[in-house]
Structure 1
Amino acid sequence: MCDCGMDHLFDFLNKEKNNGSSGSPTDPGRRSLLLGTGATLLAASLPLAFSGKAHAATPGKFRVGYIAEPAHGLHFLARDKGYFKEQGLDVEFFQFKSSAEGLIALRSGKLDIGTFGSAAPLVFISQGTPFTIFGGMMLGGQAVITRPEQAQDLKSLENYRGKKIAINRLSTGDIVFRQALQKAGFDPETHVTRVEFPSPGAIVEAVIKGQADAGIVFSPHFSLAEKRGMAVTHFLGDFLPSYTCCRLTANTADYNARKDEYGRFLTALIKAYKIYKTDQEETVRVFTKELKIDEDVIRKDTYTRQAFESHPDPLKKGTLEFWKAMVESAGYVTNKTYPVEQHIDIDLYKQSLDALIAQNPGEEIYASLLDFYRINNT
Structure 2
Amino acid sequence: MTNFTLNRRHILAGMGAAGAVAAFGRPAFANTKVNLGVTRLASHAPSYLAFERGYFKDEGLDVELKFFEAAQPMAVAIASGDADYGVTAMSGGLVSLAEKGAVKVIGGALAEEKGVVGNLLLASTKAYDAGLTSADKLGGHSFGITTAGSSFHYMIHKIAQANNIPLSEITLRPLQKLGAVVGALSTGQIDAWTIQANVANKLLASGAAKQIGVVSDYIPTYQVTTVFTSTKNAGDRAKTEAFLRAYSKAIDDYNAAFVDKTAGADEVDAIAAIMHKYIDMDAPAEEAKETLISGAMRVNKNCALALSSVEDQLNWFKSEGMVNKDINNEILFDTSYVEII
TM-score when scaled to structure 2?
0.76
Aligned residue pairs, count: 290
**Structure 1, residues 37-56: CA drift from partner, whole Å, max 9, x if none?**
xxxxxxxxxxxxxxxxxxxx
CA shift in 2, pair 1:248/1:313, >3 Å: same
- The answer on 1:147 being equivalent to 2:124 is yes
Equivalent in 292, 301, 316 of residue 307 of structure 2: 316
Q: Runs of 5+ in structure 1 lacking a partner?
A: 1-57, 350-372
Q: Runs of 5+ in structure 2 lacking a partner?
A: 1-29, 113-117, 257-262
Secondary structure at the counterpart of residue 221 of structure 2: coil
**Residue of structure 1 equivalent to 2:260:** none
Aligned residue identity for 2:63: V
**Residue of structure 1 equivalent to 2:294:** 304
Equivalent in 309, 316, 327 of residue 318 of structure 2: 327
CA shift in 2, pair 1:120/1:73, >3 Å: farther
**Counterparts of residues 49-68 of structure 1 (less than 5 Å):** 60-68=32-40
With 286-295 and 105-114 compared, the bigger mean Cα shift is at: 286-295
**Residue of structure 1 equivalent to 2:61:** 89
Aligned residue identity for 2:279: L
CA shift in 2, pair 1:161/1:296, >3 Å: farther
With 289-298 and 110-119 compared, the bigger mean Cα shift is at: 289-298
**Residue of structure 1 equivalent to 2:102:** 130
Task: Check whether the contact 2:95–2:332 (CA below 8 A) recurs between aligned residues.
Answer: no
1:290 Cα deviation after fit:
3.0
CA shift in 2, pair 1:129/1:298, >3 Å: farther
CA shift in 2, pair 1:113/1:157, >3 Å: same
**Residue of structure 1 equivalent to 2:81:** 109
**Residue of structure 1 equivalent to 2:327:** 338
Task: Check whether the contact 1:119–1:323 (CA below 8 A) recurs between aligned residues.
Answer: no
1:126 Cα deviation after fit:
5.7
1:143 Cα deviation after fit:
2.8
Task: Check whether the contact 2:318–2:325 (CA below 8 A) recurs between aligned residues.
Answer: yes
| Structure-2 separation of matches of 1:171 and 1:297 | 30
**Residue of structure 1 equivalent to 2:52:** 80
With 147-156 and 285-294 compared, the bigger mean Cα shift is at: 147-156
CA shift in 2, pair 1:242/1:301, >3 Å: farther
Secondary structure at the counterpart of residue 278 of structure 2: helix
**Residue of structure 2 equivalent to 1:243:** 222
Identity across matched positions, percent: 19
CA shift in 2, pair 1:300/1:345, >3 Å: farther
CA shift in 2, pair 1:318/1:298, >3 Å: farther
Aligned residue identity for 2:155: V
Secondary structure at the counterpart of residue 36 of structure 2: strand
| Structure-1 separation of matches of 2:141 and 2:54 | 48
**Residue of structure 1 equivalent to 2:41:** 69
Aligned residue identity for 2:83: L
Greater relative contact order (Cα < 8 A, sep 6+): 2
**Residue of structure 2 equivalent to 1:19:** none
In angstroms, what is the RMSD of aligned CA positions? 2.6
Equivalent in 155, 161, 169 of residue 176 of structure 1: 155
| Structure-2 separation of matches of 1:125 and 1:301 | 35
Task: Check whether the contact 2:97–2:103 (CA below 8 A) recurs between aligned residues.
Answer: yes
TM-score when scaled to structure 1?
0.69
**Residue of structure 2 equivalent to 1:208:** 186
- The answer on 1:228 being equivalent to 2:206 is yes
Secondary structure at the counterpart of residue 348 of structure 1: coil
Equivalent in 170, 174, 187 of residue 166 of structure 2: 187
**Residue of structure 2 equivalent to 1:162:** 140
